[in-house]
Amino acid sequence: MQVPRPPAEIANGATGKDVLAGRARVAELTGADVTEEFLRAAETAVALARQTGCRYALLIDGSPSCGSGFIYDGSFSGRKQAGNGVTAAALKAAGVEVFSDREIERLIDRIAQ
Alpha carbon 68 to chain centroid, angstroms: 6
68 neighbors 100 (Cβ within 8 angstroms): yes
> What would the pLDDT profile of 29-66 be if each residue is shown by its tens digit?
999 999 999 999 999 999 999 999 999 999 999 999 99
User: Please, which residues have CB within 8 angstroms of residue 9's CB and are 6 or more apart in sequence?
Assistant: 26, 27, 64, 71, 72, 73, 74, 75, 76
d(CA 100, CA 14): 19
- Model confidence, pTM: 0.95
Residue type, 37: E
